[in-house]
């Protein structure tokens, strides 16, 4: 259940008993029960200051010529008031009602016009539901930014909440007006957004980009990055809780064939006390766009125990995240081309000994690119990413599965006329009530989004003042109940070169004014 005292949970099952006249709300007369329809509005919730989400159920359907929602500030709304046609998804319907005024009571009814009748159509209404629109959402409490220097731009690629309740931000920095190479940036904040320490690692001979950071069971921070010299190679960095470099290992040096190309995208600490890294592998003989999944296992000291490459020839596959089940099985989550050249999410489940249990593809005619995964408090998995059709019409995409790969629910989040995408390898989290927090980008805004455990909106808030070109890496709840959003803030453009700083925003949830 959502932790929201301003949200109404309205569960109804309505038997429609009247034939309704569209032009007069009071002319509702009994009809013959032989054509009885049953449909209901079962959930209404505020999403943001101007929108509500509405869901419902049709338990017995006729031949609908039209189905939709009508609403008004007066009781018994009908199709002469505000209406919105809604498409049915099997026996369910779901929609957003927009351009609403906070603090206003609205009345909603579902309606259906049944075709195929001699009189041209029979209009049915559900019982009305009243809803006081008092939206709740995040209000900015504090924000801060970090810049390496006036001649550099910086961005956050992966951020986590630390064991002491603080924030660790990992990313990269690079000179703005030259072709110099990029370095690794690590920033440690407390929950008041006060900088406690920083670590900068830079090799002038290479460019290095951080993909993910984790904190292991001993409290150390592990970063996986990809170095370019010029071919990509995976790098593993260990940093102490106090911000001191413990070691860094160029994992590529442990590969016999130096003409091969590896990249590292994600890391986990497994129950045997070692680290497992995924990414992709591209042999010298393959085209640049052809790669396979890679798995690298190391000790706690970063010494390589095994390297595995697997996938299909002449294909493009990359691992993006890893999860270990309570019984020690490993799930590798990534994207892979299908037989019809579409790219779908592919998950492979391994036994602890490395043998494959199963491989499953998820997705449809669109292309799905997973970015982040999360083990939820109910013992399942959430995977977040982006869905697109031939490189256009980008939508945020979330799917919940169990450890056997069975889909629990799946949803996309779109904004008409704009692209919506999720970025960042640690970009989805769970709050203390089991709700989901993540950030996404459109062409004009950065969005903070909160869903409940079944994927329904709680709120959706744009940060338009920061633009839509910000890279957002993470959003999560702090121990004090506030929410922090981390990414980059684009300031301006100088000589056509992007200027950006690491950006942190701390928010609290409260009713919108």
Same domain, 342 and 217: yes
Instruction: Among 134, 169, 185, give the residue marking a domain's end.
Output: 134
Which parts of 464-496 are beta strand (E)?
A: 472-477, 483-494
Tell which residue, 471, 473, 418, has the closest CA to residue 443.
418
Residue 124 in any domain: the answer is yes
pTM for the full model? 0.79
Whether 371 is covered by a domain: the verdict is yes
For residue 451, how far is the Cα from the chain centroid?
10
Residues 80 and 203 in one domain: no
Q: Same domain for 222 and 173?
A: yes
Q: How confident is the model at residue 244 (pLDDT cuts 50, 70, 90)?
A: very high
pLDDT band at 7 (very low <50, low <70, confident <90, very high): very low
Counting Cβ atoms within 10 Å, is residue 15 exposed (0-12), middle (13-18) or buried (19+)? middle
The residues, ordered by sequence, that sit 6+ positions from 113 with a Cβ below 8 Å of its Cβ are: 64, 65, 66, 67, 121, 122, 123, 124
Nearest-angstrom CA–CA distance, 441 and 300: 36
User: Higher model confidence: residue 264 or residue 301?
Assistant: 301
Mean pLDDT value across the chain = 79
Q: Is residue 2 part of a domain?
A: no
Same-domain pairing of 102 and 159: no
Q: Is residue 9 over pLDDT 60? A: no
pLDDT, mean of residues 341-350: 88
Q: What gap in Å lies between CA 356 and CA 295, rounded to an integer?
A: 13
Q: What is the CATH classification number for the domain harbouring 403?
A: 2.120.10.10
Please tell me which residue, 449 or 134, carries the higher pLDDT value: 449
- For 441, other C-beta atoms within 10 Å of its C-beta total 24
Model confidence band, residue 346 (pLDDT cutoffs 50, 70, 90)? very high
Q: What are phi and psi of 464, to 5 degrees?
A: -70, -25
Looking at per-residue pLDDT, the higher value among 4 and 437 belongs to 437
| Number of compact structural domains in the chain | 2
In a domain, 174, yes or no: yes
Query: Do residues 81 and 222 share a domain?
Result: no
Does position 423 have pLDDT exceeding 80, yes or no?
no
Residue 47 domain flag: yes
The burial class, CB within 10 Å (0-12 / 13-18 / 19+), for 7 is buried
What CATH number did the domain enclosing 108 receive?
2.60.40.10
Percentage of the chain beyond pLDDT 90 is 34
**Predicted local confidence at residue 199, as pLDDT:** 95
Q: Are both 122 and 183 inside the same structural domain?
A: no
pLDDT of 394: 75
- 11 in a domain, yes or no? no
Residues 130 and 142 in one domain: no
Q: Does residue 26 form part of some domain? A: yes
Asked whether residue 268 falls in the same domain as residue 329, the answer is yes
The pLDDT value recorded for residue 444 is 67
266 & 129 share domain: no
* Residue 228: closest CA among 212, 205, 247, 248: 205
pLDDT at 32: 38
pLDDT higher than 60, residue 25: no
Residue span of the structural domain in which 38 resides: 18-134
In a domain, 111, yes or no: yes
Q: Rounded CA gap, 444 and 49, in Å?
A: 18
Are 359 and 403 in a shared domain? yes
- The residue from 134, 164, 195 where one domain ends is 134
- pLDDT of 5 > 80? The answer is no
Q: Which of 104, 134, 164 is the last residue of a domain?
A: 134
For residue 174, pLDDT beyond 90: no
Burial of 109 (0-12, 13-18, 19+ CB in 10 A): buried
């Amino acid at each position: 259940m959502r932790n929201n005292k301003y949200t109404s949970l309205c569960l109804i099952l309505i038997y429609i008993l009247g034939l309704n006249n569209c032009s007069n709300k009071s002319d509702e007369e009994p009809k013959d029960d032989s054509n009885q329809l049953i449909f209901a509005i079962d959930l209404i919730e505020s999403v943001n200051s101007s929108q509500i989400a509405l869901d419902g159920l049709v338990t017995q359907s006729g031949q609908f010529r039209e189905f939709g929602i009508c609403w008004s500030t007066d009781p018994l709304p009908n199709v002469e008031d505000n209406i919105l046609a809604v498409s049915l998804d099997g026996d369910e319907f779901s929609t957003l009602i927009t351009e609403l005024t906070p603090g206003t009571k609205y009345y909603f009814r579902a309606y259906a016009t049944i075709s195929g009748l001699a009189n041209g159509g029979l209009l049915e209404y559900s019982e009305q539901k009243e809803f006081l629109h008092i939206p709740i959402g995040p209000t900015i409490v504090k924000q801060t930014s970090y810049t390496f220097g006036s001649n550099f731009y910086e961005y956050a690629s992966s951020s986590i909440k630390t064991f002491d309740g603080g924030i660790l931000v990992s990313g990269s920095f690079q000179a703005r007006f030259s072709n110099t190479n990029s370095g690794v940036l690590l920033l440690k904040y407390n929950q008041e957004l006060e900088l406690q320490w920083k670590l900068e690692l830079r090799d002038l001979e290479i460019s290095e980009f951080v993909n993910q950071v984790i904190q292991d069971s001993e409290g150390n921070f592990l970063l996986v990055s990809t170095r370019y010299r010029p071919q990509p190679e995976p790098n593993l960095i260990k940093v102490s809780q106090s911000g001191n470099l413990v070691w860094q290992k160029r994992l590529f040096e442990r590969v016999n064939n130096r003409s091969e190309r590896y990249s590292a995208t994600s890391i986990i600490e497994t129950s045997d006390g070692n680290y497992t890294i995924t990414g992709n592998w591209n042999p010298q003989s393959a085209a640049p766009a052809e790669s396979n999944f890679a798995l690298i296992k190391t000790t706690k000291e970063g010494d390589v125990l095994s390297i595995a490459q697997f996938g299909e020839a002449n294909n493009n596959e990359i691992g993006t995240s890893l999860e270990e089940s309570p019984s020690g099985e490993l799930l590798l989550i990534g994207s892979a081309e299908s037989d019809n050249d579409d790219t779908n999410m592919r998950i492979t489940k391994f036994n602890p000994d490395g043998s494959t249990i199963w491989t499953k593809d998820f997705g449809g005619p669109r292309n799905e690119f997973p970015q982040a995964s999360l083990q939820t408090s109910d013992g399942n998995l959430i995977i977040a990413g982006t869905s697109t059709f031939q490189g256009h019409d980008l939508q945020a995409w979330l799917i919940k599965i169990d450890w056997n790969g069975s889909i629990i629910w799946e949803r996309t989040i779109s904004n008409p006329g704009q692209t919506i995408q999720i970025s960042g390898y640690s970009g989805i989290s769970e709050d203390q009530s089991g709700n989901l927090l993540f950030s996404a980008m459109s062409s004009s805004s950065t969005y903070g989004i909160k869903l409940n455990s079944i994927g329904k909106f709680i709120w959706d808030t744009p940060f338009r003042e920061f633009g839509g070109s910000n890279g957002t890496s993470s959003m999560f709840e702090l121990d004090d109940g506030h929410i922090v959003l981390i990414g980059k803030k684009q300031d301006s453009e100088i000589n056509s070169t992007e200027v950006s700083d690491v950006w942190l925003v701390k928010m609290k949830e409260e009713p919108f004014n």
